[in-house]
Amino acid sequence: CCGPRQGLSPDEVAELRCTTDLALQATKQAATAMGRSMAAMVVTERHLWINLADLGKKEKGFLLDAP
């Protein structure tokens, strides 16, 4: 804190890089999971909207087949 700062040892740098890499991988996985969850919610809401809409079978089929 108060004295002159020494540089990190090679072992400390390697550990820091490993830790940073693991944190980045965890963040990437969390972002991927959130994206997939959001996509699933959009699909669910779309199907709910289509089922609640006063549409004929033909129109519902057309909307459900759309991308």
CA distance 53 to 42: 16
Does the pTM surpass 0.75? The reply is no
pLDDT digits (tens, 9 = 90+) for 11-65: 999 999 999 999 999 999 999 999 999 999 999 998 898 888 888 888 877 777 7
